[in-house]
Structure 1
Amino acid sequence: MSITSGDIVDLGRGLYAWLPPKRGWGLANCGLLVSQRGALWIDTPYDTILAGQFLVESQKRLPDGAGIDRVIVTHANGDHFWGAGVLPDAEIIATREAREHLHYDPTPQQQHALVAGSDPSTPLGAYLGRHFGVFDWSDTETVRPTTYFTGELELTLGEYAVQVSSLPPAHTTGDLIVYLPTQRTVFSGDVIFSSTPQQPGDHPVHWAGPLSNVIDACERVLATGAEVIVPGHGPVLDPAGVREHMAYLAYVRERAHALHAAGVPSVEAARRVIAEGRYPELGLSERLVVTIGSEYRHLDGSGLPGVLEVMADVAAVAHATEAASAGGTA
């Protein structure tokens, strides 16, 4: 099974958004800014196949002789970063704090081996194969940022200003947002996962938190005055859509705190929030295991578990939820 190329949306004044054709793990939005003096990307697709498709679409929109010289990485998750290898000479810009998350995630080669070698008869193996087996990292080399910054970074691309702002830990340690004042547009990375009635999205997944920081990051996006917000995943939003997303985050935070105070373990808390069915239009409800687990760690002061341990819990909850929906038993 393969994934077809995403849609390129013209946002005006040399700015484009590449939007994957469906929702799901790893299908991230990306940006392209073009001027007469060159171009840059904001994030990259997950594997070299999708990144190559985005590159072809990008090159169709470049002036003669221009190249893509920079990649701004909103955070270090592979689905926003690993495709940068198709631009081997580009400057890759990330926050200094993103280096911490680089050591947390597996490399492309490790992830390829994990997905290819997992037992599909187990909940984890079946889950990894279903959601990540569509990507191909067999020839994906590990990429590293070439430029790190702290705080604010002001760039120009021809006549366009590009304002890059680092954030406290939210979706990951090392998030940033990109504001393009001429276009009145923000690329938020994964501090925002969007959904609309016309294009339902997925439940967010937050690895760092706390959720109060994620909500504050959304406030930072709104404070730019942007009229268009391109989230890390899901359809393009206006400011009202961001506020609706903040209401979702506040709900999850309130439920996590209440269940923690009641002594409910984090995975069971995620199961209970899923069972409440507050946002039935959102897919991948099992990702609440990650987000609520992150919130619990801040309440407990506990350490960060390994990715595989977290994903095993995610897969187990997904298996149980699917079995319950089918009228069976987990």
Structure 2
Amino acid sequence: MTIRDWTVSEISKDLHAWLPPRRGWGLANCGLLVSPRTALWIDTPYDPVLAGAFLDRSRALLPEGVSIDRVVVTHGNGDHYWGAGVVPEAEIIVTRGARDQMCFEPPPQQLHAMVFGTDPDSPLGGYLRRHFGVFDWATTEPVQPHTYFTGELELSVGDYPVQISALPPAHTAGDLIVHLPAQRTVFTGDVVFASTPEQPGDHPVHWAGPLGNVVSACEQVLETGAEIFVPGHGPVLDRAGVRAHIAYLERVREAAHTAHAAGVPAQEAAHRLIAEGLGRELELPERLVVTIGTEYRHLDGTQRPDIVEVMNQVATLAHQLKADD
């Protein structure tokens, strides 16, 4: 599947979504809200090639003389943020909490060097090359946000209101949701990783937590009264789809707490949960070790580990799961 197969679809009046045609690490959904005078992006693709394709498709939908003036970034992970360099004149808006995530994650060129510089015959090197080798950040410079906020922020795109809400730490330390009341739509960022029977997705991965905060964020999404929900990854959902995702999160949380109380290490707890068939239809089950490990750290009161250490655990579990087949 080539980049020519990637499209931008209208999901409500003057609102369009870039929905990658396949799942996987780094393949995030993005939004475009258009008015006669200005336009807004919600998140950006991961690297300049994908971001440039999204920009080309966006320009085809813009009225003459209109450009992408602002970019709202739902959180600081690079797959939602690093493509902002293709719209250098746009104002970039993030939460103050997103600063922590931007410091936690390796910058683009460092990640590029790690992906292509780690021994591809090692579990970590092979995993990174397999899942991140399709992206190119060799010359990508970190993009600095222009506007930081806490609490609530209201914008206008033409006559359309845009209501942005910062969240307590959940997927990352600096998540937000974007509610577009005129379009009855919420862009949830990665507090929701979507899946439907028709379009199975991937297992969520949460870096900050605790899972109780992720569940609360999903409930806040529903409290907007919206009917259309664009997740960070996966297909567009209705209200029932968000409730199903909450049920998944609650099952993971219950299993993590039970395993922690029994003294089961996080990696073994993840392995057992996968063997029990949780999310059997979902891809990337090894990511459960991140989410369960995050929950364990809250239960233990410990600090988050280095991201390379976390990815080592992910790659090791993926290797074990392959050996189990």
Q: What range describes the TM-score normalised by the shorter chain of this pair? A: over 0.9
- What residue number does 1:147 align with? 147
- Indicate whether 1:56 and 2:56 are aligned: yes
- Greater displacement, 267-276 / 161-170: 267-276
- What residue number does 2:187 align with? 187
- Indicate whether 1:276 and 2:239 are aligned: no
Q: Following the alignment from structure 1 to structure 2, what is the Cα–Cα distance between the partners of residues 230 and 238?
A: 9
1:75 Cα deviation from its structure 2 partner: 0.1
1:272 Cα deviation from its structure 2 partner: 1.0
Counterpart residue identity of residue 63, structure 2: P
- What residue number does 1:166 align with? 166
Q: Is the 8 A contact 2:184 2:225 kept in 1?
A: yes
Q: Following the alignment from structure 1 to structure 2, what is the Cα–Cα distance between the partners of residues 24 and 235?
A: 13
| Deviations 1:11-36, CA, capped at 9 Å, x for gaps | 12210010001000000000000000
Q: Is the 8 A contact 1:7 1:18 kept in 2?
A: yes
Instruction: After TM superposition, list the pairs within 5 Å mapping 1:91-110 onto structure 2.
Output: 91-110=91-110
Counterpart residue identity of residue 246, structure 2: M
1:5 Cα deviation from its structure 2 partner: 5.1
Q: Following the alignment from structure 1 to structure 2, what is the Cα–Cα distance between the partners of residues 2 and 138?
A: 21
Secondary structure of the 1:127 match is: helix
Q: Following the alignment from structure 2 to structure 1, what is the Cα–Cα distance between the partners of residues 218 and 100?
A: 22
Flag the 1:290–1:142 CA change in 2: closer, same or farther, 3 A: same
1:40 Cα deviation from its structure 2 partner: 0.7
Q: Following the alignment from structure 1 to structure 2, what is the Cα–Cα distance between the partners of residues 265 and 124?
A: 20
Secondary structure of the 1:282 match is: coil
- What residue number does 2:209 align with? 209
| Deviations 1:186-241, CA, capped at 9 Å, x for gaps | 00000000001111000000000000000000000000000000000000000000
- Greater displacement, 10-19 / 208-217: 10-19
1:7 Cα deviation from its structure 2 partner: 2.4
Q: Is the 8 A contact 1:194 1:231 kept in 2?
A: yes
- Indicate whether 1:238 and 2:238 are aligned: yes
Instruction: After TM superposition, list the pairs within 5 Å mapping 1:73-92 onto structure 2.
Output: 73-92=73-92
Q: Is the 8 A contact 2:266 2:292 kept in 1?
A: yes
- Greater displacement, 230-239 / 270-279: 270-279
- What residue number does 1:328 align with? none
- What residue number does 2:115 align with? 115
- What residue number does 2:196 align with? 196
Q: Is the 8 A contact 2:7 2:57 kept in 1?
A: no
- What residue number does 1:293 align with? 293
Q: Following the alignment from structure 1 to structure 2, what is the Cα–Cα distance between the partners of residues 198 and 12?
A: 21
Q: Following the alignment from structure 2 to structure 1, what is the Cα–Cα distance between the partners of residues 4 and 63?
A: 26
Q: Is the 8 A contact 2:23 2:234 kept in 1?
A: yes
- Indicate whether 1:33 and 2:33 are aligned: yes
Q: Is the 8 A contact 2:25 2:131 kept in 1?
A: yes
Counterpart residue identity of residue 119, structure 2: D
1:4 Cα deviation from its structure 2 partner: 4.9
Secondary structure of the 2:183 match is: coil
Counterpart residue identity of residue 220, structure 2: R
Q: Is the 8 A contact 1:29 1:233 kept in 2?
A: yes
Secondary structure of the 2:125 match is: helix
The TM-score with structure 2 as length reference comes to 0.99
**Structure 1: gaps of 5 or more residues:** 326-330
**Structure 2: gaps of 5 or more residues:** none
Q: Is the 8 A contact 1:5 1:53 kept in 2?
A: no
Secondary structure of the 2:310 match is: helix
- What residue number does 2:134 align with? 134
Q: Following the alignment from structure 2 to structure 1, what is the Cα–Cα distance between the partners of residues 131 and 11?
A: 30
1:278 Cα deviation from its structure 2 partner: 2.2
Q: After the TM superposition, list the runs of 4 or more consecutive aligned residues in structure 1 that deviate by more than 4 angstroms.
A: 1-5
Flag the 1:201–1:256 CA change in 2: closer, same or farther, 3 A: same
Q: How many residues align?
A: 325
Over aligned residue pairs, what C-alpha RMSD do you find? 1.0
Q: Following the alignment from structure 2 to structure 1, what is the Cα–Cα distance between the partners of residues 132 and 29?
A: 17
Q: Is the 8 A contact 2:17 2:30 kept in 1?
A: yes
| Percent of residue pairs bearing the same amino acid type | 67
Q: Following the alignment from structure 1 to structure 2, what is the Cα–Cα distance between the partners of residues 234 and 6?
A: 14
Q: Following the alignment from structure 1 to structure 2, what is the Cα–Cα distance between the partners of residues 206 and 91?
A: 27
1:6 Cα deviation from its structure 2 partner: 2.5
1:2 Cα deviation from its structure 2 partner: 6.2
Counterpart residue identity of residue 98, structure 1: A
1:118 Cα deviation from its structure 2 partner: 1.0
Q: Following the alignment from structure 1 to structure 2, what is the Cα–Cα distance between the partners of residues 2 and 80?
A: 20
